[in-house]
Structure 1
Amino acid sequence: MTVTCAYAPSLAWPLIHHPEAAGEARRITKDVLARWQVADEPADSVLLAVSELVTNAVEHAEPPLNLRLSHDLYTHRVHIEVSDGGPAATDGDWAAGCTPDEHGRGLEIIDFLTTAHGDRLERGHAIHWADVHTTA
């Protein structure tokens, strides 16, 4: 009996916990999506979701910061996980310097782009995840 895996390999990267992490995560994700042959429109949704999740971690959480991606070939979904060290005592420089109407739309963006998303706590860190359907 042959068993085939429905997932492309799960890939993970540590990111430096600083404002440039979102750009680094987008570069990594763009390369991976090209290897997985994800079409442009869903790839854009994945890239924006990754950017939002990483930015939120940099602005609102403690290090360490990690990105994990996997692709379910049968359901045509990319699964994104961003893990961090849990909530920070204070917001990052960007969020702390903004008025309330200048930030806070990240979750609305994630709601719009993804088929599902959520959070889970594990010992010593939080994981924020999202699934993006990859068929046009």
Structure 2
Amino acid sequence: MLVSKKEIEVRYAETDQMGVVYHANYLVWMEVGRTKLIQDLGFSYAQMEKEGIISPVIDINISYKKPLRYGETAIIHTWIEEYNGIKSVYGYEIFNSDGDLAVQATSSHVCVHKDTFRPVKFKKLYPDWHEAYEKAKK
């Protein structure tokens, strides 16, 4: 199983009035982790979008364990939890720089045509990408 890792310094603008990272910012960091994982596998989500294919979130599950604060470093671990050729489920763990788990999450995605939102068979459209996901999944 491939686990991609990405570090992000927590910026002041990402915190709320309590001084902790605002919950929605973790979703942005998950996207950063997903993009890094795709790059680590040798592919480009941006290129796929240029070809008219997008991958919307269809489900998200997130559990907040420990707050991150301004000045800390978030370390995002991302992997392919499940993949069946149509739907991809990504897993995430976000840690602080001390190695404490801050967030556990999953997000589910399908690939669709940008104009019609009709699902595509990823295996058929992107066979190399499909094969890489099969090898990299949990």
Range class of TM-score, shorter chain: 0.3 to 0.5
TM-score (norm 2): 0.39
Higher strand share: 2
TM-score normalized by structure 1? 0.39
The structure in which a higher percent of residues are helix is: 1
